[in-house]
């Protein structure tokens, strides 16, 4: 659904978007020590393949694209929230309910420019993925220590 349009130089474009979904499964792994790898097929497999695996399962929905740009949803089955307004952004992952339970992860920053609409959406989704992988990596390290 389109709420606002700008007619700059006769071009009509979307300004506000909502209901956009960001659903992805992002993963990284360390293949281990490649010096001791065995030649098997087309790929060289290291000794510790998939031991240091980091996964982020992201399912978030844009609730506002104007000011602020907001996404709400889940990262690795934990409630999460992203917000960007007036050059400040933050990403939070909660233990339980949004805003009323302890925060497990929080990251934020300052932008030189505030982006709305499509530009804000792309920037938000890039940050959500980066922060989700950072959270998953830190969470993975705490599990390994136990």
pLDDT for 32: 59
95-115 mean pLDDT: 87
Neighbouring CB atoms inside 10 A of 17's CB total: 20
| Percent of the chain predicted with pLDDT > 90 | 37
The burial class, CB within 10 Å (0-12 / 13-18 / 19+), for 3 is exposed
- CA 16 – CA 2 distance, rounded (Å): 6
- CA 26 – CA 16 distance, rounded (Å): 27
pLDDT surpasses 80 at 29: no
Angle at 146 between CA 95 and CA 137, to 5 degrees: 55
Q: Which tens digit of pLDDT belongs to each residue from 53-91?
A: 789 999 999 888 777 889 999 999 999 999 988 888 999
- CA 18 – CA 96 distance, rounded (Å): 24
Q: Is the pTM of this model over 0.85?
A: no
How many CA atoms lie less than 13 Å away from 139 in the CB half-sphere?
18
For the chain, what are the domain ranges?
A: 13-30+50-145
Can you tell me which residue has the tokens 């960001």?
22
- CA 117 – CA 126 distance, rounded (Å): 14
pLDDT for 2: 36
pLDDT band at 103 (very low <50, low <70, confident <90, very high): very high
Q: Which is higher by pLDDT, 40 or 17? A: 17
35-50 mean pLDDT: 54
pLDDT band at 3 (very low <50, low <70, confident <90, very high): very low
């Amino acid at each position: 659904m389109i709420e606002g349009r700008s007619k700059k130089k006769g071009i009509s474009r979307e300004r506000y978007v909502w209901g956009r979904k960001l659903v992805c499964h992002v993963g990284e792994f360390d293949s281990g020590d490649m010096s001791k790898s065995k030649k098997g097929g087309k790929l060289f497999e290291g000794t510790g393949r998939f031991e240091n695996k980091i996964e982020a399962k992201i399912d978030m929905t844009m609730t506002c694209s104007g000011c602020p740009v907001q996404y709400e949803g889940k990262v690795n089955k934990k409630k999460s929230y992203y917000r960007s307004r007036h050059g400040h952004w933050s990403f939070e992952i909660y233990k339980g309910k949004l805003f009323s339970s302890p925060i497990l992860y929080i990251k934020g920053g300052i932008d030189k420019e505030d982006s709305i609409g499509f530009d804000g959406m792309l920037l938000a989704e890039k940050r959500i993925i980066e922060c989700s992988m950072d959270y998953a990596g830190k969470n993975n390290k705490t599990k390994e220590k136990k």
